[in-house]
Amino acid sequence: MYNPSIKIVGPFRQLLTMDHLPLKGSLMDAQLEVIEEAGIVLQGDKISEIGIFHELCSIYSSCNPDIQFIDADIIALPGLIDTHTHLCWAGSRENDYALRLEGKSYSEIAETGGGIWDTVTKTRNATDEELKNLLTGRASRQLANGITTCEVKSGYDLDLAGELRLLEIIKGVHLDHPIDLVATCLAAHIRPHDFDGSSGEYLRFLTERLLPVIRNAQLAHRIDIFVEKGAFGISEAGKYLTSAKKMGFDLVVHGEQFTSGGVSLAVKVEAASVDHLEVIRPKAIEKLAGSDVVAVALPGASIGLGCPFAPARKLLDAGCCLAVGSDWNPGSAPMGDLLLQTAILGTFEKLTNAEQLSAITFRAAHALKLPNRGILRMGNLADFIGFPGRNYKEILYHQGMLKPTMVWKKGNRVGGSYELK
């Protein structure tokens, strides 16, 4: 049994495995598996065993000296997963925010030179080094807040070379940084103002010129599109996503943020998820519940824009799989704090602790098609975080102000204020 790479971490005051829970529908806290005085056995980057700490020590200590201990007042759970972000950008949009406070709408601001195109201009003018440093800083903040896997979209350059540049930068930071970054191509964010052609022609340009390069260079395996007034219509988006699917990409839809139709499209093309859903209607909720498409709520955008939240309670009660993403971006969701946003959504939508934590762990992993994380079980990645306290309910009770004091990624301690002893 001796293996110098084996580590035993614990004892945890409580360990939430997030195991043995359904992917879809409502959850009660009583369904959570909570192990007290627990320990985790790590081998390399994976979990080898979970159990009672002193029992694991008794089994392993006689033949393996590499045992590590942490503070007993830590509550541990899987590393958090942010399913939807736009972290690779330059510049700021504080003027947009000020205009919204004066009563201007999202579309009105965009029509007068603000919005997404403002960020595109600033991102195009930034150097590779500047963008890499900005993305690295945001990734580090995510990791410090307990997010061990984070989706990152392109979409703030909107030309062939520029979108490839953003995806290359995302890939580079992913390789250099402890956090896992999952790249998504959002070149179909809006039709760029300097593209000489219609929105449909722009999507054909992406299909023919950009997507094959992304696929061959393995820069992303996910394709997203903003289906909305001022962006792309249902019909043209459907053609684009169908072509991307034939190339082997997973699909994502920005849908139902301001107008309806995104859910029907997402279900039709069998997308991995449909994200936003602030204006989703009962029939669309029913259709989504009957599919395998994950509903991703983005409360940060609702807070940033001052609009209603996605109806998370109705989505869960209907039987949907609900994940939550931060939507961290410079325009509509500049806060970028996933746990805080989830707690606020949970308060207004009356979500249980189990439903909130599931939405940012294993159900979020399902939205990204990453079955090896989000649950603490044998064989999964050793991604886990710890909070001070004695009861897991304290985490959401503090509404995002309680931060992790321990972060482990792939079996290595990468953050936290408590020293091993």
Inter-residue contact 378 to 48 (CB < 8 Å): yes
pLDDT single digits (tens) 5-29: 788 898 999 999 999 999 999 999 9
Backbone angles phi, psi at 78, to 5 degrees: -60, 150
Inter-residue contact 137 to 89 (CB < 8 Å): no
Is the dihedral angle over the CA atoms 8, 9, 12, 17 positive or is it negative?
Answer: negative
Q: Domain spans of the chain?
A: 6-79+374-415, 81-367
C-alpha distances (whole Å) from 166 to each of 41, 126, 184, 373 are 38, 11, 10, 26
**What is the secondary structure of 221-245 as a DSSP string?**
SEEEEEBSTTSB-HHHHHHHHHHHH
Omega of the bond leading into 11 within 30 degrees of 0 (cis): yes
64 pLDDT band, cuts 50/70/90, is low
d(CA 223, CA 145): 27
- Confidence at residue 2, expressed as pLDDT on a 0 to 100 scale: 47
Q: Is the model's pLDDT at 234 over the cut of 80? A: yes
Look over the chain and give the mean of its residue pLDDT values, rounded to a whole number: 94
More confident residue, 327 or 418: 327
Read off the tokens for 277: 């859903």
182-203 mean pLDDT: 97
67 pLDDT band, cuts 50/70/90, is low
- Confidence at residue 420, expressed as pLDDT on a 0 to 100 scale: 33
- Confidence at residue 1, expressed as pLDDT on a 0 to 100 scale: 46
Q: Is the model's pLDDT at 4 over the cut of 80? A: no
- Confidence at residue 419, expressed as pLDDT on a 0 to 100 scale: 38
> How much of the chain, in percent, has pLDDT values that exceed 70?
95
- Confidence at residue 417, expressed as pLDDT on a 0 to 100 scale: 52
Backbone angles phi, psi at 135, to 5 degrees: -65, -40
256-271 mean pLDDT: 97
Inter-residue contact 40 to 10 (CB < 8 Å): yes
Least confident of 103-107, 225-229, 323-327, 406-410: 103-107
Q: Is the model's pLDDT at 220 over the cut of 50? A: yes
- Confidence at residue 111, expressed as pLDDT on a 0 to 100 scale: 80
Mark 96-130 as b/e (b = at least 16 C-beta within 10 Å).
bbebbeeebebeebbeeebbbbbbbbbbbebeeee
User: pTM here?
Assistant: 0.95
pLDDT single digits (tens) 292-319: 999 999 999 999 999 999 999 999 999 9
Q: Which residues contact 382 (CB under 8 A, 6 or more apart)?
A: 40, 42, 45, 46, 47, 408, 409, 410, 411
Cβ burial, residue 174 (10 Å; 0-12/13-18/19+):
middle
Q: Is the model's pLDDT at 69 over the cut of 50? A: yes
- Confidence at residue 130, expressed as pLDDT on a 0 to 100 scale: 98
Percent composition of the chain: helix, strand, coil (DSSP 3-state, to 5):
40, 20, 40
Please state whether beta strands 273-276 and 322-324 pair in parallel, antiparallel, or not at all (unpaired): unpaired
d(CA 406, CA 401): 15
- The 3-state DSSP class for residue 334 equals coil
What is the chain's alpha carbon radius of gyration, rounded to the nearest angstrom? Answer: 21
The domain over range 6-79+374-415 is classified in CATH as 2.30.40.10: yes
d(CA 361, CA 353): 12
Give the length of the chain: 421
Please state whether beta strands 68-69 and 74-78 pair in parallel, antiparallel, or not at all (unpaired): unpaired
d(CA 15, CA 36): 6
pLDDT single digits (tens) 28-44: 999 999 999 999 999 99
70 pLDDT band, cuts 50/70/90, is low
d(CA 308, CA 55): 49
Q: Which residues contact 58 (CB under 8 A, 6 or more apart)?
A: none
240-267 mean pLDDT: 97
**What is the secondary structure of 62-124 as a DSSP string?**
TT----EE--TTEEEEEPEEE--------S--HHHHHHHHTT--HHHHHHTT-THHHHHHHHH
Q: Which residues contact 180 (CB under 8 A, 6 or more apart)?
A: 148, 149, 150, 174, 409
Q: Is the model's pLDDT at 227 over the cut of 80? A: yes
> How much of the chain, in percent, has pLDDT values that exceed 90?
88
Give the type of residue at 154.
S
Locus of tokens 């279900």 = 267
74-101 mean pLDDT: 95
pLDDT single digits (tens) 158-190: 999 999 999 999 999 999 999 999 999 999 999
pLDDT single digits (tens) 266-297: 999 999 999 999 999 999 999 999 999 999 99
pLDDT single digits (tens) 353-397: 999 999 999 999 999 999 999 999 999 999 999 999 999 999 999
Q: Which CATH architecture has domain 81-367?
A: Alpha-Beta Barrel (3.20)
